């Protein structure tokens, strides 16, 4: 939120409908929750799906979704159920010199995730890799996989425990068991993964022996998440080089698929069963993490009543009238019912593939108002008035949306910002409740540092802010700024009157 003598409160209300009717959710989301808010934003309004919509090819070989799926699986494969270590923790970026991780797609995929600009202190690389699987699968027509955040990025390599094509069935079965998947689930997971992708000759010359054949897809529908890999195997029409390749030793798919007499593969011949099975197994795969990590609740559709600074996102019926209420900190400026302002306009929300295929459409409802800097604001809430029905109060579970501190805030009116998934600040200005003796600083999180190739080690820089000469202290508010271009994630800290405030 922004607070100044002529401050703007900008609240954005998203009117979200499913089909022809509004679906009321029983979301347990409580504001503020930066992790869930940011995850919801990237899942339903972010840019990550741009890479995977339509299951696009990367050059003339594999698809981007296939590469993202392989990266996540190889990263997860370090998990050990015996001691709870390993799992999807981004250790793969330290493991690219291992023979099982060969292939240009690994580094390219990691660069995809870093270049889009959403990896940061809220969602680390491992969290974004897991989200990449969600978009990879749905982008090729596969199931919607519920997403959880909370992974902690590893700082060292894990064990080289990825199953390799030349290993015998007993070894591969044991490796899957260590990951947490039994023999039947091993068959299913391989079938769910090998619906996309294939084998590159330059990386695996003992598998693809024809030097003129640069890349061999696993099945004849490489840009569709379907069970063709299953049906072609059972009908003996497969082109999967890991099933019928010239090198018998590396026919790992054949050994795995036929290990129970094709019983499991037969069960996957039904398309609906295949999609349902793969959705559940891939969800387990991306949720396989070290035992000392705790993931958030699952997100499978946009949250209702989602609030994020400086925007507010809730889901009323389309065409509703919306009013925002707030109360001041002193209990004197606003009446007991709260100060209020009605929505000043709307704009359409552009959703990602996840929301679109579920039938969600949305509009944002805008609010503009001024807050007195002396009395300020303590909390706010909303009322939705739908024609022909009782008003709905949106108050964060009864307590309102509480403003914990109003002594430090980013002044968006005076800052110059290029807004996107990865904001670029051309000029930053913060306001501090205090006089010219107050101090402020910003902490910049750069997820890539100066690295041009994996591993990518985050770099954290702290910069002191200086008094904003163009805007001298105004009453009890002092403005401070920095004109250096900043690209990355920024947190702020200020000390005024002996008290330190933070603004993430």
Among 70, 52, 56, smallest CA distance to 136 is for: 52
| 401, 413: one domain | no
**pLDDT score of 25 more than 70:** no
Q: Binning pLDDT at 50, 70 and 90, where does residue 336 land? A: confident
Q: Binning pLDDT at 50, 70 and 90, where does residue 391 land? A: confident
Q: Could you give the CA distance from residue 121 to residue 108 in angstroms, rounded to a whole number?
A: 22
% of residues, the chain, pLDDT over 90: 55
CATH number of residue 333's parent domain:
2.60.40.2440
Mean pLDDT lowest among 36-40, 140-144, 298-302, 358-362: 358-362
Comparing 369 with 170, the larger pLDDT belongs to: 170
**pLDDT score of 223 more than 60:** yes
The answer to the question of residue 42 being in a domain is no
- Single out the residue in 405, 437, 463 at which a domain terminates: 405
The answer to the question of residue 306 being in a domain is no
**pLDDT score of 62 more than 60:** yes
With both helix axes pointing from N to C terminus, report the angle between 183-193 and 271-286 in degrees, rounded to the nearest 10.
Answer: 100
| 337, 453: one domain | no
| 248, 106: one domain | yes
Q: What is the mean pLDDT of residues 83-90?
A: 96
CATH number of residue 435's parent domain:
2.60.40
The answer to the question of residue 322 being in a domain is yes
- Single out the residue in 343, 378, 405 at which a domain terminates: 405
Q: What is the pLDDT of residues 276-289, one digit of tens each?
A: 999 999 999 999 99
The answer to the question of residue 215 being in a domain is yes
Q: What is the mean pLDDT of residues 305-321?
A: 56
| 337, 483: one domain | no
The pair of structure tokens assigned to 471 is 């805007």
pLDDT at 274: 98
**pLDDT score of 313 more than 80:** no
Is 460 in contact with 443 (CB distance < 8 Å)?
yes
pLDDT at 119: 94
**pLDDT score of 28 more than 70:** no
| 400, 440: one domain | no
- Single out the residue in 362, 386, 405 at which a domain terminates: 405
| 197, 228: one domain | yes
Burial 134-172 (b: 16+ CB within 10 A, else e): bbbbbbbebbbbbbbbbbebbeebbeebbbebebeeeeb
Q: What is the pLDDT of residues 260-276, one digit of tens each?
A: 999 999 999 999 999 99
Cα–Cα distances (Å) from 357 to 15, 19, 448, in that order, read: 17, 11, 33
| 375, 232: one domain | no
| 62, 141: one domain | yes
Number of domains present in the structure of the chain: 3
pLDDT at 483: 67
Is 326 in contact with 402 (CB distance < 8 Å)?
no
pLDDT at 481: 83
| 56, 188: one domain | yes
| 380, 450: one domain | no
Supply the range of the domain harboring residue 185: 48-286
| 157, 192: one domain | yes
Please, what is the average pLDDT of the chain?
86
Comparing 306 with 183, the larger pLDDT belongs to: 183
Q: Binning pLDDT at 50, 70 and 90, where does residue 236 land? A: very high
The answer to the question of residue 116 being in a domain is yes
What are the helix and strand counts (H, E) for the chain? 12, 22
The answer to the question of residue 300 being in a domain is no
Is 339 in contact with 328 (CB distance < 8 Å)?
yes
**pLDDT score of 318 more than 80:** no
Q: Locate tokens 């159920």: which residue?
A: 81
pLDDT at 424: 60
CATH number of residue 241's parent domain:
1.10.520.10
Q: Calculate the CA dihedral of residues 202, 203, 209, 211 and round it to 10 degrees.
A: -10
Half-sphere exposure of 363 (CA within 13 A, CB side): 14
| 480, 356: one domain | no
The answer to the question of residue 305 being in a domain is no
Is 452 in contact with 492 (CB distance < 8 Å)?
no
The answer to the question of residue 299 being in a domain is no
Mean pLDDT lowest among 103-117, 342-356, 413-427, 463-477: 413-427
pTM for the predicted model, two decimal places:
0.90
């Amino acid at each position: 939120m922004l607070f100044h003598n002529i401050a703007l409160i900008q609240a954005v209300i998203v009117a979200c409908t499913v089909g022809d009717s509004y679906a009321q959710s029983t979301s347990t989301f409580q504001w503020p929750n930066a992790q869930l808010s940011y995850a919801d934003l990237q899942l339903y309004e972010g840019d990550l799906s741009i890479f995977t919509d339509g299951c696009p090819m990367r050059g003339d070989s594999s698809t981007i979704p296939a590469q993202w799926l392989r990266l996540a699986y190889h990263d997860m494969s370090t998990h050990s159920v015996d001691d709870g270590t390993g799992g999807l923790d981004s250790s793969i970026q330290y493991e690219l010199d291992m023979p099982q991780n060969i292939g240009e797609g690994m580094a390219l995929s990691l660069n995809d995730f870093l270049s889009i600009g959403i990896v940061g202190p809220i969602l680390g690389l491992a969290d974004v890799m897991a989200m990449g699987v969600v978009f990879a699968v749905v982008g090729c027509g596969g199931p919607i996989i519920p997403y959880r955040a909370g992974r902690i990025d590893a700082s060292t390599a894990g064990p080289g425990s990825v199953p390799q094509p030349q290993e015998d069935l007993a070894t591969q079965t044991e490796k899957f068991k260590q990951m947490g998947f039994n023999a039947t689930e091993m068959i299913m997971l391989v079938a769910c993964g090998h619906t996309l992708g294939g084998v590159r000759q330059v990386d695996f010359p003992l598998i693809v022996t024809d030097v003129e054949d640069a890349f061999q897809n696993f099945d004849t529908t490489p840009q569709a998440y379907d069970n063709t890999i299953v049906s072609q195997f059972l009908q003996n029409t497969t082109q999967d080089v890991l099933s019928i390749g010239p090198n018998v030793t590396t026919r790992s798919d054949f050994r795995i698929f036929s290990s129970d007499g094709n019983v499991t593969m037969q069960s996957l011949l039904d398309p609906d069963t295949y999609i349902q099975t793969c959705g559940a197994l891939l969800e387990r795969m991306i949720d396989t993490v070290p035992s000392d990590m705790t993931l958030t609740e699952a997100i499978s559709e946009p949250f209702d009543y989602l609030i994020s600074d400086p925007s507010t996102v809730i889901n009323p019926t389309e065409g509703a009238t919306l009013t925002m209420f707030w109360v001041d900190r002193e209990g004197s400026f606003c009446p007991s019912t709260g100060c209020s302002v009605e929505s000043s306009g709307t704009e359409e929300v552009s959703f990602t593939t996840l929301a679109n295929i579920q039938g969600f459409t949305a509009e944002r409802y805008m609010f503009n108002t001024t807050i007195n800097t002396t009395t300020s604001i303590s909390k706010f809430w909303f009322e939705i008035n739908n024609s022909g029905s009782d008003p709905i109060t949106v108050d964060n579970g009864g307590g309102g949306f509480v403003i914990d501190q109003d002594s430090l805030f980013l002044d968006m009116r005076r800052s110059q910002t290029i807004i996107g998934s990865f904001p670029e600040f051309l000029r930053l200005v913060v306001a501090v409740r205090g006089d010219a003796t107050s101090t402020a600083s910003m902490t910049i999180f750069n997820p890539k540092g100066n690295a041009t190739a994996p591993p990518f080690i985050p770099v954290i820089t702290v910069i002191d802010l200086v008094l904003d000469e163009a805007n001298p202290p105004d009453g009890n508010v002092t403005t401070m700024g920095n004109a250096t271009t900043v690209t990355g994630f920024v947190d702020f800290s200020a000390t005024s009157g002996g008290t330190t405030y933070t603004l993430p």
